[in-house]
Amino acid sequence: MKRKPIVMILLLFLVIHPTVAKGEETAAKALNELTELSDSIFQLTRQAKYDEALQVALYVEKTFKAGNWRGTLSHTQVRQITLGYQDIIKVLQQKNVDDREKLRYASQFRMLLDAIQSDSEPLWGSLEKPIMGSFPILKKEVKNPESTTFYETWNEFVSLYDMIYPSLTIDIPLERLQTIKQHIEVIEQGEFLKASSGTKLERLTRLEEELSSVFANVDQDEADPSLLWVILTTGSMILLTLTYVGFRKYRAEKEKKQKRQADYPKS
């Protein structure tokens, strides 16, 4: 009599296990397809074939909504993928968006899917040098209140960090990302410029250390040549196009300072 329940359990396992395994296989196949599609979007955007890239992005949206990936992705992963293809569709549909901006979003989406599918050696790790390479310049230029180079380098740093941020949400604990966000927000406040050189250097150093630990825990693969090309050209683009933004901010700060001095009552 006792054998009957055991037999029933074994029969139930034999029925359910193939179904579960098939479901996992289907989900893995769907995720692999999404990764390949993200690469297609990246390559087509790089070749300025925006209509074709848009069609692939729309297919990604349709495929993802079908839900074959269910059971394999976390809430954060689902949210980032959804935001990723929505952003790409939006920029590809706009004729007035800069070509390099479209390429940035395509690169961001590709790195995101890579981070989700890869257990190690994520593509976002290949941006360590351009991101961490900003700090020697930032720490040098922050000592000079008249320098526009600080703003230029800072804007470039933030743009590159924003590019890898969706991927970081997959691989890095939220608490650490929140700490990095807080450092960035402090530095971007106007009060930061009024602080002493020592205080500004300390804040930049703390941000540098946080990011250094993020990259240190990643096994990095050699960067994909095509992605590296995007990084380099995008970095140059940021440096050139944001120079005006940095200078305008610097000039505004200088004018405010001069106005305060002019308004200050003379003895």
Q: So what's the pLDDT on residue 218?
A: 72
Q: So what's the pLDDT on residue 194?
A: 82
| 19-117: CATH topology | Four Helix Bundle (Hemerythrin (Met), subunit A) (1.20.120)
Sign of CA dihedral 243, 162, 61, 237: positive
Q: What is the pTM of this model?
A: 0.74
Q: So what's the pLDDT on residue 3?
A: 54
In tens digits, the chain (267 residues) has pLDDT values of: 455 555 555 555 555 444 444 445 566 787 888 999 999 999 999 899 999 999 999 999 998 988 766 777 889 999 999 999 999 999 999 989 988 889 999 999 999 999 998 877 888 988 888 899 999 999 999 888 777 888 889 988 998 999 999 999 999 999 999 999 999 999 988 788 788 889 999 999 999 999 999 998 775 545 555 565 555 555 454 444 334 344 444 445 445 544 444 444 444
CATH 1.20.120 residue spans of the chain: 19-117
Q: So what's the pLDDT on residue 23?
A: 46
